[in-house]
Chains A and B, each alone.
Chain A
Amino acid sequence: MPMNIYEKIWEAHRVHEEPGQDTVLYIDRHLVHEVTSPQAFEGLRLAGRKARRPELTFATMDHNIPTTGRDQPIRDPLSRQQVEVLKTNCAEFGIVCFDMHDRRNGIVHVIGPELGLTLPGFTIVCGDSHTSTHGAFGALAFGIGTSEVEHVLATQTLLQRKAKTMEVRVNGTLPVGITAKDIILAIIGKIGTAGGTGYVMEYTGEAIRSLSMEGRMTVCNMSIEAGARAGLISPDATTVAYLKDRPYLPKDTPREELERRWLGWASDAGCTYDATVVLDAGAVEPQVTWGTSPGMVTGITSSTPVLSAIADPNERHEAEKALEYMGLCEGVPMQEVTINKMFLGSCTNSRIEDLRAASRLVKGHKVHPSIALAIVVPGSHQVKEQAEAEGLDRIFKEAGFEWRDAGCSMCLAMNDDRLDPGDRCASTSNRNFEGRQGKGGRTHLVSPAMAVAAAITGRFTDIRNWQFN
């Protein structure tokens, strides 16, 4: 029977099954960060338990750390404590931890792939919903709660129920100016933020195949915003090419054998899914969200909704609340919406390719005088170093953008980078929830190119008409 990739990974990781009970599923890779782990380590300590396979777990600090003045101690005592506690927990339980000064440090979902910790066919978990990012490599990767973090540390397994599978097929070729971010926002706009609940998604089709690994990570990253726990892409030559010279790649197995195994995880021809969604890449415009949920999204040439045109009363009520929070009227063209802040970063869009794409638009332009803050935050130390080696930092700085140190930063504003009440921000992150980037702040999700274009023109702009310098 031909199998899809999810079925293959599931089959290969079953440790124990009993009728009517959850399957005990083996976990190959566990990633840990400072926010969702302290109570898990404490739980182990209280129960007198050890980490079963500490060498399969890797820790980084990313959510709390400052993006400026990294040579100074962290000012916020609670943030500082959380970071310190991660270090002592890792030392106690024998786990490798990438300290904020370590070259390998960065956002957990950026460094996993970059270091070769993320491999095809792996089961990967982390106490973080955007673990779905790693699915870009053909890994079954999903977010878990803190109790489950403790469970994985203690047993190297999780109790899981098999999910349904959904094929999300993106046909056609990406038009000029359309990025992976626009594709995933368009998918969420189409199926809704709960459209994928109960499913694991596999993204297929020419448009997905044509994406780089960076682009694929952007797509899989936001699977959770469609309600799916995980999103995968079958490994292919692009995947294999990315997995070269990564420090943590397996060393004992010959390269050819590794490649053969990796490619073997790809979905079989003729496999089936429980549901299928089809999108035509050619019809996708640059996307901008207008509301307080990633599904409240539209094309750059469209407008905010007209409430009387929304049939479902609950949905209308939500849209009304969202417009009110966002300080927007009905039926306003997106290109008339002005912003005062910009954030280029997060595990969705802070990889080298994102910075390169954005810098091409920025070159020879200046940030608009109405912009109070425009920050570029690389996803990891290595991304930052690479960008600096290519001179991208200078392009951003000359245009008036701030060039910061790596971390989650204003994606969730746990450190000092945040919006003030009433600020309106073009953001390359993944969540436009109320208050996500700071209480009273208004977030519009866009691609990196759309974000910098908005910072330069002061309003949302159709990058398909951009004047490159």
Chain B
Amino acid sequence: MKPFTTLKGIAVPLDRQNVDTDQIIPKQFLKRIERTGYEDALFFDWRFKQDGKTVDETFEFNAPRYRGAKILLARDNFGCGSSREHAPWALDNYGIRCIIAPSYADIFHNNCFNNGMLPVRLEAGAVDRLFVELRATEGYALEIDLPSQTVRTPSGEAIHFEIDPFLKERLLNGWDQIGLTLRHADKIAAYEAAHAG
């Protein structure tokens, strides 16, 4: 898995609460059997008009100033709904490796870490402020520093975020879970022996 240490990039706003994984990637794109190639499917029903081709200019995410964004600014309960890992894959394939929101749905939050992506939790007031600054300044780029757990804004303000120390370790080292667990293969075998029959 790719490690995550620091990231600097344009942030793009998605000003909705309870954004569900059906919105992040609609079901018609779940038929593929690969982990890549989902970038055009990201927020498909919002980014494109009914014909599925014409870009919907009224969707803020589409504005040219946010092109090449690496960070997504979102609202409460981001990633609720289905367990589809295609949601973080689509964000990742599009180039977004970090999300900032006040809260996340459980499975989506897990899925991000399993793909070396960082979901940053900031309190709602701070997220509100970032929305205002982001819209006011073209080229607004944020700097995410995982080792020191800070989000740095263009004005130099450093906002601290909390993260579980174990999850932080995993991201910094790019450890994959299967590798971690297989260190305990003997314990698994012992459990199975004790519970046979």
Residues of A whose CB lies within 8 Å of any CB of B are 15-16, 20-22, 24, 26, 35-36, 38-39, 42, 47, 49, 52-53, 63-64, 76, 78-79, 81-82, 85, 127-129, 143-148, 150-151, 154-157, 159, 161, 193-194, 197-198, 224, 227, 229, 252, 293, 314-315, 318, 321, 412-414, 421, 431, 433-436, 439-440
- Which B158-185 residues have a C-beta within 8 angstroms of A? 164-166, 177-178, 180-182, 184-185
Contacts of A252 in B (CB 8 A): 197
| Contact B83–A155 (Cβ < 8 Å) | no
Is the CB–CB distance between A433 and B23 below 8 Å? yes
- A22, B166: Cβ atoms closer than 8 Å: yes
With A314-B75, A314-B76 as contacts: A440 and B23 at CB distance below 8 Å: no
Q: List 25 A-B contacts (CB under 8 A).
A: A22-B166, A24-B181, A24-B184, A26-B191, A42-B34, A42-B35, A49-B178, A64-B31, A78-B32, A129-B107, A145-B85, A154-B182, A157-B188, A161-B164, A193-B18, A193-B80, A194-B105, A227-B77, A252-B197, A293-B20, A314-B76, A412-B27, A433-B20, A435-B26, A436-B27
- Which stretch from B3-11, B61-69, B110-118 is at the chain A interface? B110-118
Expressed in whole angstroms, the Cα–Cα distance for A79 and B32 within the complex equals 9
* B interface residues (Cβ-Cβ under 8 A, vs A): 16-18, 20, 22-23, 26-28, 30-35, 45, 50, 75-77, 80-85, 88, 103, 105-107, 110-111, 114-115, 164-166, 177-178, 180-182, 184-185, 187-188, 191-192, 195, 197
Given known pairs A15-B184, A26-B191, A197-B77, the reply for A42 and B33 (CB within 8 Å) is: yes
Contact B177 A151 (CB under 8 A): yes
Partner of A318, one of B17, B30, B177: B17
- The residue that B23 contacts in the complex, of A15, A38, A434, with Cβ under 8 A, is A434
In the complex, the answer to whether B33 meets A16 with C-beta atoms within 8 Å is no
Inter-chain contacts of B18 with A (CB < 8 A): 193-194, 293, 318
Evaluate contact between B85 and A36: CB separation under 8 angstroms.
yes
* Extra pairs beyond A79-B31, A155-B188 (11, CB < 8 Å): A53-B192, A64-B31, A81-B33, A129-B107, A145-B88, A147-B111, A193-B18, A413-B27, A414-B31, A431-B81, A435-B22
- Cβ–Cβ < 8 Å partners of A413 in chain B: 27
Q: In the complex, are the beta carbons of B33 and A148 less than 8 A apart? A: no
Give B167's nearest chain A residue, CB to CB: A22
Given A412-B27, A414-B27, A440-B50, verify A143-B35 contact (CB < 8 Å).
Answer: no
